[in-house]
Structure 1
Amino acid sequence: MCGIFGKWNINGSPADRSEFIRLLDLLGHRGPDASGSWFSGAGDVALGQRRLSIVDLSEKANQPLHNENRMVHAVVNGEIYNYPALRMELEAKGHVFSTGSDSEVVVHGWEEWKTELPSRLNGMFALAVCDESSEQLFIARDRFGIKPLYYYRMQGSFAFASELKPLINAGDFRKEIDSTSFSDFFTYRYIPSPRTIWKRVSKLPPAHSLIIDKDGIVRLNEYWQLTPGEERMPWYDVVEQVRELLKTAVNEHLLSDVPVGTFLSGGYDSTTLALIQHQQQYPLRTFSMGFDGWDKSEHLYAGVVAEILESEHHSEIVNGADLTLLDTLPVFYDEPNGDISTIPTFMVSRLAARNVKVVFSGEGADEIFAGYGWHRRLMTRYRFSRENAWERKQGNPMTGVKGYAHAMAMGLFDRSKLKELLHPSLHACIPDDPFWFYRQHYKKGLHPLKAFQYMDIKCFMGELVLQKVDRATMANSLEARVPFLDPALVSFMFSLSPDVYFDKKQQKPVLAELLRPHFPGGILDRKKQGFTGPDHYYQDEKWYREQLSDLQLVKNNLINDTFVKKALERKDFWRLWKVVVMEKWFLRYL
């Protein structure tokens, strides 16, 4: 895990080396163990990395990495889990490796496979390759967007980075908010790819690569697609297949030269990951976060699971005073993120980072096993039969794009609400269809549940949840790995008909089947809880009045004070949460 940064002055002017190092160091929290940079002979290309040492801890594995004749250079953020097999294949073809780093397969893989390289990698990654012989720069991002990658083009130059900070703090960058992105934040709680909050800066979408040549011609390519299906399989065949796929994924994700810990809530997802490690006799280190005075806090369940699995367990309690973290989080969330679990995620990451460098996290399980509340609410509107997989109810508000938008909203902003919120000068920037991003990823031909799950992967998880986890963990120099997003496991679950793995009476029945022989009913039969904390943390009227009393967003003609006052009167706290988050971001960056 690390932070990467690079720049190519296509006009041929040499890079300012001291300026480049200054900008690279803005990613120091992502990689405190080492800093490395490479400049081309002419000085027009610069690559840099801040390293968090995980695999091959020696200095020789510091990046940038180079091929044998030093004509191909690469920086990589993340982990390549299938690197042992790829290394054997590449060595058999004559490539000579100089380190034990998993990232070195990127350099030699580029020599062998060129733009097909990302499709050969199983891992979480954001990478860049400079090929001096072909005068090309290639960047790519993993299939699900676990690792972030931003880029911008100015006249005569191209730059990329793991976070926005190196790009927007460059001397030639002009800070201008993208008004449509500003509007989109209130609809989605994030800025959908490929836009960012800034004009002229783009976010490389998941499963995409980009190549730019010496003439400045850019080609964007989607190198992988998730293909949903409706296959039926016997129940126990599904369970056994998931068991084997998870065992393989966990084994691959344990690839590390430092200890690996696990975020543990006592819920199905994290408990499954901990159980598989325990069964493979891996020494468990688990970390949980509880909430003071909340009867739904899961830290007690996590403690029970940890005791059963004989884990070295660490726990901490959050209280309402920790909302003050919102003032400092924008330093790391340099693109606004409206997820209400940003604070507890940051805190459990801080706890884990005192003990380990790498941690397992359960993201992806709810998406592939249909574990969210909106999945259950959707499916209560349908009757299943073998002959007809589902029957629509005429006018069912839960289905389709609008149904998904309501499920995601946490305070819905449709077009009319956006006009109430935003200053009149921004009304022209409100999309005609505020839910355009959901519509882009909505597949009409799918079973309604599978359509929701697909949008979960592409929208909610890919844009909001994974960004939250990346920023929270990296702020604490901690690498988060997500075994449930192993491509083979995700592809298998998406190939199945929902009636194979969904049961209205049992949440995530496949995982429940794996866990039931090992844990008491009190662990398995309780209602699912989100990692958010008690509502009163986020619905304190006095706190909101303090936060919203003197808004820079109002003074800068971005939002209407009238909306804020009326929302306070209505106690419309979920909509106001997004206003507070955006205000905190604005104060930090403008």
Structure 2
Amino acid sequence: MCGINGQINDQGLIDPAVFNAKRDTLSHRGPDDASSWFSEDGRIALGFRRLSFLDLSVAGRQPMCNEESDIWLVFNGEIYNYLELREELRQLGHRFSSQTDAEVVLHGYEEWGHGVLSRLKGMFAFGIWDQKRKNLFLARDRFGIKPLYYGQLEGSFQFASEIKAMLHGEPRRPALNRHAIGDYLSYRYIPSPDTIWENIHKLPPGHFLHLHMGENGSAEKRVAQYWRPQLGYQRIPVESAIEQVHSLLSQSVETHLRSDVPIGAFLSGGYDSSALVDYMTRQGCRPNTFSIGFEAWPQSEHLYAEMVARHLQVPHFSAIATKGELDLLDKLVYHYDEPIADISIIPTYMVSKLAAAHNKAVFSGEGADEIFGGYWWQKDIARYSRFSAINDGLLHRLMRRPSFFLEKYAEAMAMGRMNSANLRDYLHADTWEFINPQSEWFYNRHFRPFERPLKAFQYLDICTFMGELVLTKMDRASMAHSLEVRVPFLDHELVEFMLSLDQKVYFRPEETKFLLYANIRHSLPEAILQRPKQGFVGPDTYYMDIPWYAGQLQNGALIQQNILSREGLQKMINEQDHWRLWKFTVLEKWVRRWHE
């Protein structure tokens, strides 16, 4: 896992000292090594910060080039089928000078061009400069596990793993994207391709960017989607589905364990992480496991995690969170670059710090809820589906309308959504004038008139919430501590298989994540299997310190910059509306750190 950045100047030379300083803002993503490449004309640069897992020698150093030195690569991520691709490329005549997966991507691009993307299994974000064709090729993995940003800044096109690398050393910051504030307050994050800054964009999951540099400094840019979730309605025997999940998950765990350093695991005591540790032990691995608990709470997850660790006979390490961790928010807004109002960023940051003291990489259970049907809103929509099966009339037609999903899905995502009906109550009039509080364009972009409402929610979870919030949260919290997180449930073949099934095969409201449960029911303690789903945030009001929030916001930057109104703040305090106070407090901290 690494940090990457790149720059192409419209005119003039790149200052190596400034560019390397940009690169080194990503040192937490890659503390093991740093290197840059500059083109002969001095107008193009690629930067790399390394966190080593495969081929720890200097042969794995990036930026990396082909034999002719006319194609250069910076790569962040892991390609889990790199051994198979390496052999295929070797038979096609390619020669390798390292044992890294990055070199496989480089030669794969030489051989197949953009087609290399469909062959890659893993998590990745990379940039390739093709000197002969004068092309820059950027790509991001199917689900958005690894981040990639790009934009036009002060006469140069730039890209980076994190926005801070693009902003560093610039004479002026871009303008604040006030439309994005409405999106953030509605959904707890800012949907791609937008960011909190004008002219800086996220490359969406499953997309690539092609930039051709023409004569006289002209540039032609194209962003395209190379992978989209495909939904099916197969009704295969349940026993066959269980066996196929077992086979695909076993293969995924086996390939995700490929590394020259030991792999640990986050362990919460729930289905997802417990299943991964179980499958790791089936591969002969005894990983270190890590959990976070909450003081004075009998349902604290670390108690269940310790139970699983004892049962599977693996080492376990835990730490206890306190309410004092709210003070971590200043560090978090630095690492996240954009406001994200998911309060579990605090324990996620803490468990990453704990794990990084023992391992360089860990498994985590992200993706299981999305593909196996583990969220409460999926159960709710299944109940709607039962009604529509009884009355195949008005209700069924209603459920297939985009507006139905926008309302229900946004309600699930926002935990106190601020929509066009109530956002005006909290914002200063100057900000209200510039934002788009509806934000429906985002979900309309992904909406399809599905035959099965539950499939629509599954699709939206994968296209929006998972990549934009869940995986971003995990990446920034872990990389803040130079820790790589691998997510075996997001092997694309496993995901595609689950998406191909009719909901009657994989979803049972009375049995959470049925197809996963069927594969672990004989391996884990009954107390774990019967546990209700629990979020990674502690007790409901654990971090809900309203006086602390009020102290952050009163006379703060949001009020001074005419974003939050004083009347809106007082309304939230009077109503003890801790979720909205949390959203505005995160935004307040972000503005102080990045925009004042």
TM bucket, shorter chain: over 0.9
* Secondary structure at 2:501 match in 1: coil
Query: 2:322 aligned with 1:319, yes or no?
Result: yes
1:47 counterpart residue number: 46
Distance (Å, rounded) in 2 between the aligned partners of 1:136 and 1:541? 52
Task: Please state how far the C-alpha of 1:432 moved relative to its aligned partner.
Answer: 6.5
Report which stretch shifted further, 574-583 or 424-433.
Answer: 424-433
Match of 1:218 in 2: 221
For the pair 1:256 / 2:259, whether they are aligned, the reply is: yes
Q: Which residue of 2 aligns with 1:180?
A: 179
Corresponding residue number in structure 2 for 1:30 = 29
Which residue of 1 is the match for residue 542 of structure 2?
Answer: 537
Counterparts in 2 of 1:240 and 1:386: CA distance versus 1, 3 Å:
farther
Determine the structure 2 residue equivalent to 1:428. 433
Structure 1: distance between partners of 2:172 and 2:553: 30
SS where residue 537 of structure 1 aligns? coil
* Structure 2 unmatched runs, 5+: none
Q: State which of 364, 373, 378 in structure 1 corresponds to 2:376.
A: 373
Partner of 2:240: 237
Q: CA deviation at 1:234?
A: 0.7
Alignment-mate amino acid for residue 449 of structure 1: L
Using the TM superposition, give the Cα deviation of residue 431 of structure 1 relative to its aligned residue in structure 2, in angstroms: 2.3
TM-aligned CA distance change 1:554 to 1:310, over 3 Å: same
Matched, 1:511 2:516: yes
Q: How does 1:244-393 map to 2 (within 5 A)?
A: 244-383=247-386, 392=395
Is the 1:259–1:356 contact (alpha carbons within 8 Å) kept by the matching residues of 2? yes
Q: Conserved in 1, the CA contact under 8 Å of 2:293 and 2:321?
A: yes
- Whether the 8 Å CA contact 2:269–2:302 is kept in 1: the answer is yes
Deviation at 1:69, TM superposition (A): 1.0
Larger deviation: 475-484 or 541-550?
541-550
Contact 1:167 1:173 in 2 (8 A): no
C-alpha distance after superposition, 1:48-88 (max 9, x if no partner): 10000111111121111110011110000000111111111
TM-superposed CA distance for 1:330, in Å, is 1.2
Partner AA of 1:203 in structure 2:
K
Per mean C-alpha deviation after superposition, the further-off stretch among 183-192 and 538-547 is 538-547
Residues 193-212 of structure 1 show CA distances to partners (whole Å, capped at 9, x for unaligned) of 00100011011000110111
Residue 487 of structure 2 corresponds to 482
Q: Residue 4 of structure 2 corresponds to which residue in structure 1?
A: 4
Instruction: Give the CA deviation at 1:393.
Output: 6.3
Is 1:199 matched up with 2:204? no
2:87 corresponds in structure 1 to 88
Q: Could you tell me which of 444, 449, 453 is aligned with 1:444?
A: 449
Comparing 288-297 with 19-28, greater Cα deviation is found at 288-297
* Partner Cα separation in structure 2 for residue 138 and residue 319 of structure 1: 45
Distance 2:259 2:354 in 1: 20
Write out per-residue CA displacement over residues 564-584 of structure 1, whole angstroms, 9 at most, x where no aligned residue. Answer: 101110111111110000011
Contact 2:182 2:437 in 1 (8 A): no
Whichever residue aligns with residue 351 of structure 1, its letter is L
Deviation string, structure 1 residues 71-119 (Cα, Å, up to 9, x no partner): 1100000001111111111111111111111111121111111122222
- The one-letter amino acid of 1:264's match is L
Are the counterparts in 1 of residues 489 and 495 from structure 2 also a CA contact under 8 Å? yes
CA distance in 2, matches of 1:362, 1:160: 29
SS in 1 for 2:45: strand
Deviation of the 1:293 alpha carbon:
1.6
Distance in 2 of aligned mates of 1:389 and 1:304: 47
Corresponding position: 1:525 with 2:524: no
CA 1:411–1:545 in structure 2 vs 1: closer, same or farther (change >3 Å)?
same
Contact 1:289 1:318 in 2 (8 A): yes
1:453 to 441, 451, 458: 458
Aligned counterparts of 1:390 and 1:331: Cα–Cα separation in 2: 51
Separation of aligned partners in 1, 2:116 and 2:338 = 29
d(CA) in 1 for partners of 2:3, 2:154 = 25
Q: Separation in 1 of the partners of 2:298 and 2:514?
A: 25
Question: Contact between 1:64 and 1:74, CA under 8 Å: does it hold in 2?
Answer: yes
Identical amino acids, percent of aligned pairs: 48
Q: In angstroms, what is the RMSD of aligned CA positions?
A: 1.9
The alignment partner of 2:433 has SS state of helix
Alpha-carbon distance, 1:315 to partner: 0.8
Aligned residues: 589
Are the aligned partners of 1:10 and 1:214 in contact in 2 as well (CA < 8 Å)?
A: no
Report the residue type matching 2:444 in the other structure.
R
TM-superposed CA distance for 1:43, in Å, is 1.1
Q: CA 1:441–1:317 in 2, change beyond 3 Å: closer, same or farther?
A: same
Deviations 1:195-243 (A, max 9, x none): 1000110110001101111131101111111101111111111110000
Residue 72 in structure 1 maps to residue 75 in structure 2: no
1:511 alignment partner AA: L
Partner SS for 1:325: helix
SS at match of 1:226: coil
> Distance in 1 between the 2:392 and 2:522 partners?
31
- What CA distance in whole angstroms lies between the structure 1 residues aligned with 2:142 and 2:134? 26
TM-score, normalization by structure 1? 0.97
Aligned to 1:163: 162
SS in 1 for 2:25: helix
- SS of alignment partner, residue 97 of structure 1: coil
CA gap 1:155/1:343 in 2 versus in 1, 3 angstroms: closer
CA contact (8 A) 2:270 2:531 kept: no
Does the 8 Å CA contact 2:35/2:49 hold for their aligned counterparts? yes
What amino acid is aligned across from residue 425 of structure 1 in structure 2?
A: D
Contact persistence 1:382–1:392 (CA under 8 A): no
Cα offset for 1:385? 9.9
Q: Distance in 2 between matches of 1:157 and 1:117?
A: 28
Q: 1:305 to 1:6 in 2, by over 3 A?
A: same
Instruction: Determine the C-alpha separation between the residues in 2 that align with 1:347 and 1:529.
Output: 18
Secondary structure at the counterpart of residue 512 of structure 2: coil
Hey, what's the Cα distance between the residues in 2 that align with 1:447 and 1:335? Answer: 35
Partner SS for 1:380: helix
Is the CA contact (8 Å cut-off) linking 1:145 and 1:462 kept in structure 2?
yes
User: Match of 1:220, as an amino acid?
Assistant: V
What whole-Å deviation, never above 9, does each CA across 1:118-177 have from its counterpart, x for those lacking one? Answer: 222111000000111111111000000000000112464211000000111232443321
Change beyond 3 A, Cα 1:361–1:434? same
Deviates more, 1:430-439 or 1:419-428: 430-439
Question: Partner of 2:124: helix, strand, or coil?
Answer: strand
Determine the C-alpha separation between the residues in 2 that align with 1:431 and 1:387: 39
